[in-house]
């Protein structure tokens, strides 16, 4: 939305933009055809060529800087529920390197979020239009997820895409898109750029999510109009227990792991963390 809102001003400064048409970004045209584990090598090659063709349509001159925004490069969030953290990122980052075909990556901007709130948010969002398993069962695996978390994500992006710098910003709400833009594009004049005002990815209430899951379990198919109706109808309805939550001990474990990982990121070569050090919980 930020890039779409400020597209003319950014292009006037000599940069090309590539971003998808999500979240109201009507000018977005980027389609990267990112691969999934089920895809064969032949399918991945075909998708890579499709992605190269689509990206080339966003570029007016290969000599111009390019700002590319695609939140799904890391991969789907479904593996969270099985105790895995972006397990297919290596293949996707390697795919992106092929799509860029030697074009040098100057900076990568990576937002990192505490694991407990990330997992809960992902589960809640997917619950809007999918029948879901019991979070209280899934959380056992999520609380001790495999891999090295955000540091491994950062190392993979550096290894496969070889950026001059990887900038890490801890996620927070409310946030200012201009802060992200300054971190990614420090040489551009951002003084006249505007902040988006529309909300993005606003979650349904706990009561609304319980209602949708009851309908899906009864065999009702997801429908966007119905989802929005439930959002409005149950916005103020209170429930006895949260729709999805970790136990106190699980949350403490995941938060401690997150802050330890932030400390690790601060010590890693080629990474800049824009965030003052936190006291551990």
User: pLDDT tens across 178-215, in order?
Assistant: 888 988 888 889 888 998 887 666 789 999 999 999 99
For the chain, what percent of residues have pLDDT higher than 90? Answer: 81
Q: What is the pLDDT of residue 33?
A: 96
User: pLDDT tens across 90-108, in order?
Assistant: 999 999 999 999 999 999 9
Per-residue pLDDT at 225 exceeds 90: yes
Q: How far apart are CA 113 and CA 126, in angstroms?
A: 17
Q: For 123-152, what is the mean pLDDT?
A: 95
pTM recorded for the entire structure: 0.91
Residue 258: its H or E element: helix 248-267
Q: What is the pLDDT of residue 200?
A: 66
Domain spans in the chain, listed from the N-terminal domain onward: 2-199+247-273
Per-residue pLDDT at 36 exceeds 60: yes
Q: What is the pLDDT of residue 179?
A: 87
Facing residues of 170 across strands? 112
Q: Where are the beta strands (DSSP E) in 37-130?
A: 66-68, 107-112
Q: Tell which residue, 69, 72, 115, has the closest CA to residue 92.
A: 72
Give the angle subtended at the CA of 174 by the CAs of 172 and 180, to the nearest 5°.
65
């Amino acid at each position: 939305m930020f890039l779409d809102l400020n597209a003319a001003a950014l292009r006037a400064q000599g940069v090309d933009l590539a971003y998808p048409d999500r979240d109201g970004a009507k000018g977005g045209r980027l389609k990267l055809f990112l691969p999934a584990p089920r895809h064969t090598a032949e399918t991945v090659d075909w998708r890579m060529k499709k992605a190269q063709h689509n990206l080339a349509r966003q570029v007016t001159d290969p000599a111009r800087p390019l700002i590319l925004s695609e939140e799904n490069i890391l991969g789907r969030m479904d593996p969270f529920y099985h105790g895995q953290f972006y397990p297919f990122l290596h293949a996707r980052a390697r795919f992106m390197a092929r799509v860029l075909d030697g074009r040098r990556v100057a900076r990568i901007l990576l937002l990192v979020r505490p694991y407990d709130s990330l997992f809960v948010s992902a589960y809640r969002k997917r619950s809007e239009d999918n029948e879901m398993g019991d979070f209280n069962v899934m959380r056992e695996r999520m609380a001790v997820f495999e891999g090295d978390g955000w540091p491994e994500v950062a190392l993979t992006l550096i290894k496969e895409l070889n950026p001059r710098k990887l900038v890490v910003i801890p996620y927070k709400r409310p946030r200012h898109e201009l802060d992200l833009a300054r971190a990614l594009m420090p040489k551009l004049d951002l003084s006249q750029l505007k902040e988006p005002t529309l909300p993005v990815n606003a979650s349904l209430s706990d009561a609304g999510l319980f209602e949708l899951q009851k309908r899906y379990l009864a065999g009702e198919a997801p429908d966007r109009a119905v989802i929005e109706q439930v959002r409005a109808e149950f916005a103020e309805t209170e429930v006895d227990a949260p729709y999805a939550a970790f136990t106190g001990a699980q949350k403490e474990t995941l938060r401690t792991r997150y802050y330890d990982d932030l400390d690790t990121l601060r010590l890693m070569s080629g990474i800049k963390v824009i965030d003052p050090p936190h006291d551990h919980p």
